[in-house]
Every structure is written in C-alpha cells, then in structure tokens.
Structure 1
Amino acid sequence: MLVFIIPVKSATVAKDWGSTCRLFQRTLRSTCQQRSPAFRTIVVCNEHPAPQFHHPQVEFLTVDFVPPAKETNPIARGLTDKGRKVLKGLIHARDTAEPTDPPTHAMIVDSDDCVSQRLAGLVQQQPDREGWYLHQGYKYREGDRVLYLKRRNFYRMSGTANIVAFHRLQLPAIPEYNRGYGYYKFYVDHQKVRAMMADRGTPMDSLPFPGAVYVLATGDNMSGNEDNLSFNFLNRRPLTPALAQEFALDTPP
C-alpha cells in the first residue's frame, strides 16, 4: 500500500488561504483517483481546508504546531512546519495501519502539486522495491493550456519527488526533526533523498514515467524559485483531456 502524506500550511502563514484550499482540493483529488485502491491519504493541517468531496481513504490529522517565532526566513519557517507535519503523518500512518495491510511505501505530496493516477498501481505491483525517485515530471503554470515536460532531475525541483519504502524511513518517537535528529533532511530535503538512500546501500529506482505536476504561479510556492525555471518550447505539451485526467488538472476553457 502507498501512503500519501499531504502537509498543509497554516492559514496564518498562507498568502491567500482561499487559494491554498482550492489548490489543495485538486491535489487531494489527484491522490484519490488512483487506478489501484491500494492507497491511503493522510492530510496534516492546523486548520481544516474543507474539501468539497469526501473519500473513505482520506484522513485529516489536525495539529497545533506553531511556526518558529524567531525564524525570519519564510522558506526555512515553512520547512520547519512542513517537516513536523510530514513526520506526524508518517508516524500516524505507522501507528494506525491495519496489521494485515501495512503501508509498504510513502510519498510526500506538496499541497499544490498533482500526482499521476498510476502511482499506487506501480507500488502494488512491486511492493518489495526500495522506492522510486521522480526523474521526470511536468511543470505547469496555473491557468495555462500547456504543460512543460521536465526530462531530467525533476526530484531536485519539486517537493513531490520520492516514493520511499516505509521500513526505510527511520521514524522518531515524536514528530520533531529539530531536536537532535540528524536525519531530518530525509523528510524535507527532497533533492537529497536519492543520494541518502544510495549511501545506505538501498538505492531507489527511477520512476518509469512522469509522476507528478509541479504547479507554479500560485502566488504561494514554498521554494520561491519560479523566476529561475526555464520553459523550453521543445518540452511543451498540450494539456490534453488524457493528461488532465491523469493528474486531476482542470482543462482551461
């Protein structure tokens, strides 16, 4: 079983909470429309983002984490909050798993990105794999009629980047990464997970298809690197109904 963990930023730090909720609902739909039923989605949030639909395999976990008051860097502040929520979701997934159907893999999904509907099926077919990193994916500017294929190193750009074997996660007893846990980067530094897994002698495979859409121009991207991304017309792909269906994107009018 594949467990999706979606950490949602607090309304107190979101630039536009209404937009955050709208984008999250699309992200949630993308995890819920998996072709295989072997998945579970855990949303970790301060405030409930009130989805417009419900699914029996979705669980909301409400927390009271407060972003560090002394942190002035908004990116670092966001990662601290994200890291706590990711760990909380993973620990909850472990502690509440059915003994007969434990999670085999976990994937952290940014709350404004979208994932392919093929992921749970791949995990179900290959449950003993160490995991997959997303070598390919799409960049999408909100409202466009096209996507841009990122042919290499998508996992370095997007936080929706890795599917990791659950038993390799080394979960701590409490959902904190800033209290002496030297491996916290495993949960927030998505671009380093591939190398860390290889260094442990448990290398991941490259996902054999584009696995996610990195959504840009939302006004609330955590990475803040939108202006540094290139959009080569040779990598441009029309947002066809098939692609829109695979990633739960809306086709612009």
Structure 2
Amino acid sequence: MLAFVTSLRHPRNSTDYGRVEQLLLETLHSVTQQTSDDFVVIVVGNREPSFPLPDRVHFVRVGFRAPAPKSIRVSRSPFIRDKGAKIGIGLVAARQFSPDYVMIFDADDFVHRGLAEFAAANPGQNGWVFKDGWMYSRARSAYRPQPQFNRTCGTSFMVPYDAYGVPDELEVTATKSEVREAYGERLSKIIGAHKWAEEWFADHGRPLQPLPFQGAVYHVDTGENHSSNALEGWAKPLGSRMVAEFGISPTRGRLGILWACYCSEPAARVDAALGPVSKILKRVYRGVRRRVRRTS
C-alpha cells in the first residue's frame, strides 16, 4: 500500500483559507484518481475541511498554534517547522494502515495517477526521487517541464514507510514539541523540507532511484505558495494528456487556454517573443467574441 500524506497551513497564516480548501479539493481529486485502489490519503490540519472528503481520505486534526502572528512578516522557518510537525503526525496516523511506501505531498500540487500501481508492482525497493516533473500555472492554464524537480517541489519522494523512523510511542495527540523531540533531525531534513532529502537518504543507507516517469506537478501562481514562485516565459497550454494523467481540471475552453497561455498577463514575455503569432491569436479571439455578442 502507498500512503499519501499532506498538511494544511494554519488558517491564521493564510491569505484566503477558502482558497486553501479549494486547492486541497483539487489536489485530492488528483491523488484519489489512482489506477490502483491500494492507497490511503492522510490530511493533517487545524481545521477540518468544509467539504466531504473523498473515499480513502482521512483527516487528522491538531491543535498546534499558528507558527507566526498573521500581521508580522517572518522567515519561512516557523512554517517549515509547523509543516514538519503536521506531517510527522500524519505519518503516525498512516501507521494503522501498514503502508509499504509513503509519499509526502503538498496540498496544492498534482500527482500521477499511476503511482500506487507502480509502488505495488515494485515491492522492497529503497524508494524513488522525482528528478523530472512539471510546473503548472492555473492562472495561465499552462505548464512546462521542471528539471531538478526534487530541488524545487516537495511532492517529489516515494519511500518505504520505515525510512522515516516513525517512533512507536508517538501518538496523533502529541504536541508539536513532542513531535520535534521524537523525530529529531529527520523533521527538518526529510519531513518538513525536501531540497537535500535525496542526499540525506543516501547518507543513511537508502540511495533512491529516479522515478522512470514524471510523477508530479508543481502548482504555482496560487496566491497561497510560501515560495511565491510563478510560471514565467515559455510554456505549453494545458492539454488532454495532463488532464488525464494528473487530474487537473481545465478552467477555460480551448481558445481561452490559448489566450491565457500566449496572449495575456502574466505571459507578457511570451507575448513579446511570439510577435506576429500573438497578434494573430488576439485578432482571432476578438473576432470570436464579436460573433458571440452578435448572436447572443
């Protein structure tokens, strides 16, 4: 079995918590469309989602205080520690399902539908690192390949459950300080952060294999990313392959996707680079709009 584990930020540290929940809903749609039923999903947060959870999704509520006052701008460190503690609780909650592998994922990303099937077909491995993946912007309805994916996105590892060393005595009711003490450096090295997790696993006798396909999509331009990364420059318009493999729901028709991808902000650099092509697309779009107005 593959256990997917994620966390939600504290409502007090969110710009728009309704938006956080909407992103989670879209992500859960992606995660739960696995081609194999041999998986479970654990979500940890301070407030239970306002929507019904899909099958195989379990919510664990924690009472952790907000990592920082909402009105004060601080570094990312308190948020990383908060995320790590929640994921640590999620790993404890996953224990009852006796998973073979675990995948920690961010609650606004998308994952490939074949991960649970792949994990079931490859028992006893050290695990996999997602070297290649995609970056996607819903604002632009566009995506492009993201090299060194595991350096950029936290949704990038699938490893055996015992690789995280979940303490037997730790319970889901543990305090944040008890979680930090129980996991030690693992909380900051491989649970709450991801950038150098591949090296940590290798140094601790668990060299990871590259996943042989793009396993995840890093979702940017959401308004709730701690990293504030954005998809700029050249990108591909969202197509049927991405929709089918990752469960990304299109928010526009085909013409609207092309317009958002190539002709409007934040694609100004692409617009300038395309030159005449961009102008043609704009004229086509305006013509269609005029015809729609005349017939309505």
TM more than 0.5? yes
Cα distance per residue 1:60-92 (max 9 Å; x no partner): 111111134589625222112111110001011
Q: Does the 8 Å CA contact 1:130/1:203 hold for their aligned counterparts?
A: yes
Q: Does the 8 Å CA contact 2:137/2:220 hold for their aligned counterparts?
A: yes
List runs of 5+ in structure 1 lacking aligned partners. none
Cα distance per residue 1:6-34 (max 9 Å; x no partner): 10112111111111111110111111000
Task: Confirm whether residue 17 of structure 1 aligns to residue 4 of structure 2.
Answer: no
- Of residues 138, 146, 151, the one that matches 1:156 is 151
Q: CA deviation at 1:153?
A: 1.0
- Of residues 139, 144, 148, the one that matches 1:143 is 139
Q: Paired residue for 2:111?
A: 115
Number of matched pairs: 241
Residues 1-253 of structure 1 mapped to structure 2, 5 A cutoff: 1-51=1-51, 53-68=52-67, 73-94=74-95, 96-97=96-97, 102-150=98-146, 152-172=147-167, 173-174=169-170, 176=178, 178-179=180-181, 181-184=184-187, 185-224=189-228, 226=229, 231=233, 233=234, 236-251=235-250, 252-253=252-253
Q: CA deviation at 1:237?
A: 3.1
- The share of aligned pairs that are identical, in percent, is 31
Between Structure 1 and Structure 2, the one with more helix by share is 2
Match of 2:76, SS state, is helix
Match of 1:66, SS state, is coil
Q: Does the 8 Å CA contact 1:149/1:237 hold for their aligned counterparts?
A: no
Q: Does the 8 Å CA contact 2:30/2:110 hold for their aligned counterparts?
A: yes
Q: Does the 8 Å CA contact 2:34/2:113 hold for their aligned counterparts?
A: yes
Cα distance per residue 1:94-134 (max 9 Å; x no partner): 1x22xxxx201111111111111111111010021111111
User: RCO higher in 1 or 2 (8 Å CA, sep ≥ 6)?
Assistant: 1
Q: CA deviation at 1:146?
A: 2.1
Q: Does the 8 Å CA contact 2:13/2:68 hold for their aligned counterparts?
A: no
Q: Tell me how far apart the structure 1 counterparts of residues 186 and 117 of structure 2 sit (CA, whole Å).
A: 29
Q: Tell me how far apart the structure 2 counterparts of residues 25 and 5 of structure 1 sit (CA, whole Å).
A: 14
What is the letter of the counterpart of residue 3 of structure 1?
A
Using the TM superposition, name which of 11-20 and 65-74 deviates more.
Answer: 65-74
Higher radius of gyration, 1 or 2: 2
* CA distance 1:145–1:55, change in 2 (3 Å): closer
What is the letter of the counterpart of residue 87 of structure 1?
G
Q: Tell me how far apart the structure 2 counterparts of residues 93 and 145 of structure 1 sit (CA, whole Å).
A: 34
TM-score, normalized by length of structure 1?
Answer: 0.88
Q: CA deviation at 1:230?
A: 5.7
TM-score, normalized by length of structure 2?
Answer: 0.76
Q: Does the 8 Å CA contact 2:133/2:217 hold for their aligned counterparts?
A: yes
What is the letter of the counterpart of residue 16 of structure 1?
D
Q: Does the 8 Å CA contact 2:129/2:158 hold for their aligned counterparts?
A: yes
Q: Does the 8 Å CA contact 2:12/2:66 hold for their aligned counterparts?
A: no
Q: Does the 8 Å CA contact 2:2/2:119 hold for their aligned counterparts?
A: yes
Q: Tell me how far apart the structure 2 counterparts of residues 104 and 198 of structure 1 sit (CA, whole Å).
A: 19
